[in-house]
Structure 1
Amino acid sequence: MGEQLTENLGNIALWNGAFALACVPAAAMAGRQFRWQWLVAAFLLFNLNIALVLDFFGLNERIYALAGSPETTFNWAGKITALSASVLILCTPFINLRAAGVTFRQDQKSFIGWIVFAALCALGVYIGLQIENDTHSAETIAYQLTMPSLEEEIFYRGIFLFCLVKAFGDGPRILWSNFGSAALISTLVFTIIHCLFWGASGIQFSTEAFLFAGVFGLVLTWMRTNTGSILLPILMHSAINTIWRLF
């Protein structure tokens, strides 16, 4: 078994373990509202998404070959295959597009989310002007502007959150958004995949990544539940990844 495959399997085990542990109290709190079929669907779709991003099926090499074997720094192929799978899943009758946030329509009070978006963008510009920043390549800007935001928001704040809401319910209305167990679990899983890894020396945990991904994961999930759409989270995610790199 190759070292990379071992690390990937370790990562999947860690992430699924954290996911499962978070679901135990959530299921207990949901009581009779809990629907295990949708939780199983969430687990299966989560693992499919991760397997595609990590290239478990060996599709990346074929995609790069079709594109003329370009020299790339980032995981374009993995993100593109995962994004394509999410789009296909959205085309099935099992996913209600409106309920999954795949709509331009905005809920009442969504203007609050847009105000927060404008404020955070302004803060990002200010921070970018204050720090010494290396010059970033065109590929870096193009990738960070598109792939993480499109692939991760459509899946984690769209499909994944939809399945979790079906499993556990919406939760209470807090700060102009429904923020219950489903929202918290989707945020936790999103955070864990950015900060908890299996490496050659065993489990590796980044406190910095945990705080950064956790805070912005909460903000992105709140924006999704406030507006009822993944549009604002996609824009916010793109802004988070790129604004500070432009100065």
Structure 2
Amino acid sequence: MPGIYLAVLANIGFIAFIVLLLTLLKKVTISPRWLCISLVIFICYCFALFNGKAIIPLDVLFSDLRWNWSGKIAAIILWGCVLLALIRFKKDFKIKEAGFTFKQNEGSIEPAFMMMGLFIILQVVITLILGSDPNYDLETLLYQAVIPGFDEEPMFRGVLLFCFSLAVISTRFNLLGAPINVAGLLLVLLFGLAHGVMYSEGEWFFSTFRIALTSTYGFILLWLRERTGSLVFPILAHNSVNLVGQLV
């Protein structure tokens, strides 16, 4: 377990270095208060994810679970608590600012469906290239169809994106109708690093492919979030892609 947190700290340190560099270059403005809040949220997220069984011991009731249900549910509870804290303590905060709305930006539904379709096709191609065998295990299919999107999207493209955008302030650039900022791009990179940089038993494991692939996926999900102004499409796309990856 300590090795996991060492990797987390390394990933945070790399993002912090980029933030410092961008600040020195006057590309971004930093809010120390919101930077600390964002850091605490991310560390708490990692703690909930890695220590879920101690927080929610589902294995006591279901001894044959193979996926991290406990950690993911703990993480879902966490983003719910962060959202409630923002409602309570952030003046004039509206939950739609963090993507918690069913209303989609005008003219965004059609391009969002198109991007989601391309995203699924990309997943099929990647899965076929990697030569992965289909997995029709019921627990796996249920987990992939429901959990990842409801955990990672409200966190990374929801409350954390909202807080980090207040921490790392920059101009936005328009990418096919989606207003993208530096904070969002840094979270995409952090999302990729979290999946591709590991430390275990005294050794570092670094997968350029996993970082690049997960960052690409994260960028597509960020685009969906910013283009639609909602978490609906990112959640649907994330779960759909994960499920398709098991079926192909």
**Which residue does the alignment assign to 1:40?**
36
Letter in 2 for 1:22: I
Once the two structures are overlaid, the 10-residue window that deviates more, 226-235 or 7-16, is: 7-16
**Which residue does the alignment assign to 1:116?**
115
- 1:161 paired to 2:154: no
**Which residue does the alignment assign to 2:231?**
230
Query: Matched residues in 1 for 2:126 and 2:187: separation?
Result: 28
Once the two structures are overlaid, the 10-residue window that deviates more, 200-209 or 51-60, is: 51-60
Letter in 2 for 1:44: V
**Which residue does the alignment assign to 2:182?**
181
SS in 2 for 1:98: helix
How many percent identity over aligned positions? 24
Once the two structures are overlaid, the 10-residue window that deviates more, 152-161 or 7-16, is: 7-16
Letter in 2 for 1:107: N
- 1:64 paired to 2:59: yes
Query: Matched residues in 2 for 1:240 and 1:45: separation?
Result: 26
**Which residue does the alignment assign to 2:19?**
23
- TM superposition score normalised by structure 1: 0.87
SS in 2 for 1:198: strand
**Gapped regions of structure 1 (runs ≥ 5):** none
| TM-aligned CA distance change 1:69 to 1:57, over 3 Å | closer
Offset at residue 56 of structure 1 (A): 7.5
- 1:102 paired to 2:100: yes
User: Is the contact made by 1:51 and 1:57 (CA closer than 8 Å) also made in structure 2?
Assistant: no
User: Is the contact made by 1:197 and 1:204 (CA closer than 8 Å) also made in structure 2?
Assistant: yes
Letter in 1 for 2:112: G
User: Is the contact made by 1:176 and 1:226 (CA closer than 8 Å) also made in structure 2?
Assistant: yes
Instruction: Number of aligned residue pairs: give it.
Output: 239
**Which residue does the alignment assign to 1:55?**
51
Mapping of 1:76-95 within 5 angstroms? 76-92=69-85, 93=87, 94=90
User: Is the contact made by 1:101 and 1:229 (CA closer than 8 Å) also made in structure 2?
Assistant: yes
Offset at residue 158 of structure 1 (A): 0.3
User: Is the contact made by 2:134 and 2:247 (CA closer than 8 Å) also made in structure 1?
Assistant: no
SS in 2 for 1:41: helix
| TM-aligned CA distance change 1:182 to 1:128, over 3 Å | closer
Query: Matched residues in 2 for 1:169 and 1:49: separation?
Result: 25
**Gapped regions of structure 2 (runs ≥ 5):** none
SS in 2 for 1:106: coil
Offset at residue 83 of structure 1 (A): 0.5
Offset at residue 169 of structure 1 (A): 4.1
Query: Matched residues in 2 for 1:226 and 1:132: separation?
Result: 32
Query: Matched residues in 2 for 1:126 and 1:188: separation?
Result: 22
Query: Matched residues in 1 for 2:124 and 2:246: separation?
Result: 10
Mapping of 1:115-134 within 5 angstroms? 115-122=114-121, 124=123, 133-134=133-134
Query: Matched residues in 2 for 1:57 and 1:154: separation?
Result: 21
Offset at residue 103 of structure 1 (A): 0.7
Query: Matched residues in 2 for 1:45 and 1:102: separation?
Result: 18
Once the two structures are overlaid, the 10-residue window that deviates more, 184-193 or 34-43, is: 34-43
Query: Matched residues in 1 for 2:211 and 2:122: separation?
Result: 21
For each residue in 1:164-208, what CA deviation from the matched residue of structure 2 results, as whole angstroms up to 9, or x when unmatched? 111214522232111121111110111111101111242211122
